[in-house]
Chains A and B, each alone.
Chain A
Amino acid sequence: MDATEIGLWGVPLAILGGAIRVSTPFIFVSLGEAITERSGRINLGLEGTLVFGAMTAYAVAVMTNSPWIGLVAAAFAGLCFGLFHGWICKFPKVNDIAIGIALMLFGSGLAFFFGKPFIKPKAPNLPAIPFGRWSDIPQVQAALDVNVLFLIGAVLSVILWWAFRNTRAGLIVRVVGDSSDAARAMGLNPDTVRLLATGVGGALAGIGGAYLSLYYPGSWTERISSGQGLMAVALVIFARWNPLGCFAAALLFGGAGALGPALQSVGVTQGYYLFYAAPYILTLIIMIATSSPTRSLAGAPGELSITK
């Protein structure tokens, strides 16, 4: 109990803790979007899916008293949103970006509508694994309370990275994303592949929402998401459509986001608005540093409407 004086060590600890706590929704949404975009389609509606997933998870967890059933429900709701997006975009001359924006607003609105009665009740939270038990400093213990979803996200990003290179399903998604004509020549139906990829992407975004409402910050309100869904979509481009990159980018974002409050807590109080901009400044720097005027965006799926 006396080990409360950690002073400046609080900053790296907060960045580490923040990276673990804040990054999980980014991980899931960006992995979902990576799958969708690798198949050649953009789903900007994941912000709406995230909010709807947060609401569904919380509501179902309140009603069944089990956060796991809530999590499954959120994934299912996300799947439905994704399939809906995929189904509409199948029609000719439909712009997937416009549909995504429409679904983003629709998802949030629907979540507010159904979520009204669930603002007051308290839902059971998803469990965390206390990796910090070896330490007797309470701050370290708190920072290393790692939620199971974070671990699942980490494992998932490795699996996806491997699967995109080595499995039949991964290669099918990639060929559809790179060239519809080549895919058709192989006897694949690009629309079906994209439908499924968008569905899976939506399901992952729903899980990201469940993390927000069932673990951190751990309650359902209409202001639960501060644009995490949209940021995660941008992270995919930042990560060059690489699942491992998505994971790293999400960690970077979470950690950089924790910088502002942590610096203020140790007495660096000037210019906090600037520190709050840290994640975005970092993104800009990396984007500029890795861009090149002589070649197109590395790793971009050829069928993606932004690169066409």
Chain B
Amino acid sequence: MTDRFMLSRRQLLKTTAAGAALGLTSAFPVSKAFAAAATVGFIYVGPKDDYGYNQAHAEGAATLKGIEGITVVEEENVPETVDVQKTMESMINLDGASLIFPTSFGYFDPHMLAMCAKFTNVQFRHCGGMWDKAKHPMNAGSYFGYIGMGQYLNGVVAGHTSKTKKLGFVAAKPIPQVLLNINSFLLGARSVDPTITCQVIFTGEWSLAVKEAEATNALVDQGIDVVTCHVDSPKVVVETAAGRGAFVCGYHANQSPLAPEKYLTGAEWNWAKVYKMFVDDLVAGTPLPNFTRGGLADGFVKMSPLGPAVGEPARKQFDATLAEMMKGGFAVIKGPLKSNKGAVVATEGQAFVETAIELESMDYLVDGVVGSTA
């Protein structure tokens, strides 16, 4: 009985919404102002104020709220299950969203693709997923940023700041993107002093507060004095490391409020730029790009302001390296370079610039990183 009532109510809502939309479009068939009015949906896998991955996306979404005619709808803590399909459906049917950003990796296949097939007039853009023209529909797409460059700059500052010449990295899982960040961090530091090493600890999960704290403590116990991380929420790592007196480099978002004295700098996403770009296209009525990538020069990635503990030589090299990256074509992985197992990953003269597709399938840690991918 109740079920039947619920269904009919939902049906009613749907019909009314559709009817209203139909009424609007037919009443103002060519009005530009109404063509520009659009609802954009954002879906996050965790809390949107986690000082990390989700916060970076939510900050980007927040900048859209000031644009006239744009309505932003958000939902957080959506698991990477069929739940996200329900969220997308309700954003489309009840809120009238015409562009949706499911921001977590696991949303792409099969959930987002299923919705793409069901709602062909709605655009979907996914963060990090590999959109392939041959395999995926045209109303789907993906965007991502080359944040490894930011970790290289983190490494430059860390290399200057470290007294023990030992750096630490708390990582979630050994996937290509994480490995690139670890390697970039070490190579940045080695551009300062080639004897520096970086100890990595994998926690095995994207978000495990107690294990991240234990990993940070274990690193500091080994005399490591600069720590960075790649986990969903760097809050615990930053607070634990600073509490033990180590310096920290941030990731995903700006964590300097958590440790103002110990925070050196950080590699942050600048999704505001990316989302503005998509929404501008939507408002102008031009087709949205399907495959979007960018780095520091494109404004997809930015650095936190340098902290008070950063010395003059570090500041100089940071600025010089950043200026070089802004010119484009900067290669973090360049020969001669070996993995920490002794295999050659780049021969003399070989260089992989940030756009190189080989970097997106990285499966090694470079010489100088203490750790293992399995």
8 Å CB interface, A253-295 against B:
257-258, 260-262, 264-267, 269-273, 276
> Considering the chains assembled together, what is the distance between the CA atoms of A273 and B174 in angstroms?
12
In the assembled complex, how far is the CB of residue A89 from the closest CB belonging to chain B, in whole angstroms?
A: 27
Query: A65 in the interface, Cβ–Cβ < 8 Å?
Result: no
Closest residue of chain A to B233 (Cβ to Cβ) is: A221
Contacts of B244 in A (CB 8 A): 142
Contacts of A270 in B (CB 8 A): 372, 374
Contacts of A4 in B (CB 8 A): 164, 222-223
Mask: chain A, 196-219; 1 = CB below 8 Å from B; 0 = not: 000000000000000010001111
Contacts of A261 in B (CB 8 A): 201, 203, 211, 214-215, 217-218
Contact yes or no, B208 A226, CB < 8 A: yes
Q: Of A13, A120, A223, A257, which one neighbours B214 at CB under 8 angstroms?
A: A257
Contact yes or no, B204 A272, CB < 8 A: yes
Contact yes or no, A262 B207, CB < 8 A: no
- Interface size in chain B (residues, C-beta < 8 A): 43
In the assembled complex, how far is the CB of residue B241 from the closest CB belonging to chain A, in whole angstroms?
A: 12
Contacts of B236 in A (CB 8 A): 217, 219, 221
Contacts of A273 in B (CB 8 A): 204
Q: Chain A interface mostly helix, strand, loop or mixed?
A: helix
Contact yes or no, A22 B210, CB < 8 A: yes
Contact yes or no, B239 A13, CB < 8 A: no
Contact yes or no, A226 B47, CB < 8 A: no
Query: B367 in the interface, Cβ–Cβ < 8 Å?
Result: no
Query: A10 in the interface, Cβ–Cβ < 8 Å?
Result: yes
In the assembled complex, how far is the CB of residue B156 from the closest CB belonging to chain A, in whole angstroms?
A: 23
Q: A4-B164, A120-B49 are in contact. Are A226 and B218 (CB under 8 A)?
A: no
Closest residue of chain A to B365 (Cβ to Cβ) is: A269
> Considering the chains assembled together, what is the distance between the CA atoms of A258 and B215 in angstroms?
8
Contacts of B243 in A (CB 8 A): 218
Contact yes or no, B202 A272, CB < 8 A: yes
Contacts of A5 in B (CB 8 A): 223
Q: Of B50, B202, B205, B232, which one neighbours A264 at CB under 8 angstroms?
A: B202
Contacts of A221 in B (CB 8 A): 47, 50, 209, 233, 235-236
> Considering the chains assembled together, what is the distance between the CA atoms of A260 and B219 in angstroms?
12
> Considering the chains assembled together, what is the distance between the CA atoms of A119 and B233 in angstroms?
12
Contact yes or no, B371 A269, CB < 8 A: yes
8 Å CB interface, B96-150 against A:
none
Query: A18 in the interface, Cβ–Cβ < 8 Å?
Result: yes
Query: A222 in the interface, Cβ–Cβ < 8 Å?
Result: yes
Closest residue of chain B to A265 (Cβ to Cβ) is: B218
> Considering the chains assembled together, what is the distance between the CA atoms of A127 and B203 in angstroms?
27
In the assembled complex, how far is the CB of residue B51 from the closest CB belonging to chain A, in whole angstroms?
A: 8
Q: A221-B50, A221-B233 are in contact. Are A139 and B211 (CB under 8 A)?
A: no
> Considering the chains assembled together, what is the distance between the CA atoms of A56 and B158 in angstroms?
38
> Considering the chains assembled together, what is the distance between the CA atoms of A221 and B219 in angstroms?
23
Query: B199 in the interface, Cβ–Cβ < 8 Å?
Result: yes
> Considering the chains assembled together, what is the distance between the CA atoms of A102 and B217 in angstroms?
36
Contact yes or no, A13 B221, CB < 8 A: yes
Q: Of A10, A112, A262, A269, which one neighbours B370 at CB under 8 angstroms?
A: A269
Query: B240 in the interface, Cβ–Cβ < 8 Å?
Result: yes
Contact yes or no, A265 B221, CB < 8 A: yes
> Considering the chains assembled together, what is the distance between the CA atoms of A260 and B221 in angstroms?
14
Closest residue of chain B to A262 (Cβ to Cβ) is: B218
> Considering the chains assembled together, what is the distance between the CA atoms of A82 and B220 in angstroms?
40
Query: B81 in the interface, Cβ–Cβ < 8 Å?
Result: no
30 contacts between A and B (CB under 8 A): A6-B221, A6-B223, A10-B222, A14-B217, A17-B217, A22-B214, A122-B258, A142-B220, A142-B221, A143-B221, A217-B212, A219-B209, A221-B233, A221-B236, A222-B46, A223-B207, A223-B209, A224-B209, A226-B209, A261-B201, A261-B211, A261-B214, A262-B221, A264-B199, A265-B199, A265-B222, A269-B200, A269-B371, A272-B201, A272-B202
Mark A residues whose CB is within 8 Å of B: 4-7, 10, 13-14, 17-18, 21-22, 112, 116, 119-120, 122, 138-139, 142-143, 212, 216-219, 221-226, 228, 257-258, 260-262, 264-267, 269-273, 276
Beyond A142-B244, A270-B372, list 14 extra A-B contacts (CB 8 Å).
A4-B164, A7-B222, A10-B218, A14-B218, A112-B77, A217-B210, A218-B239, A219-B236, A219-B239, A222-B46, A257-B214, A262-B214, A264-B215, A272-B202
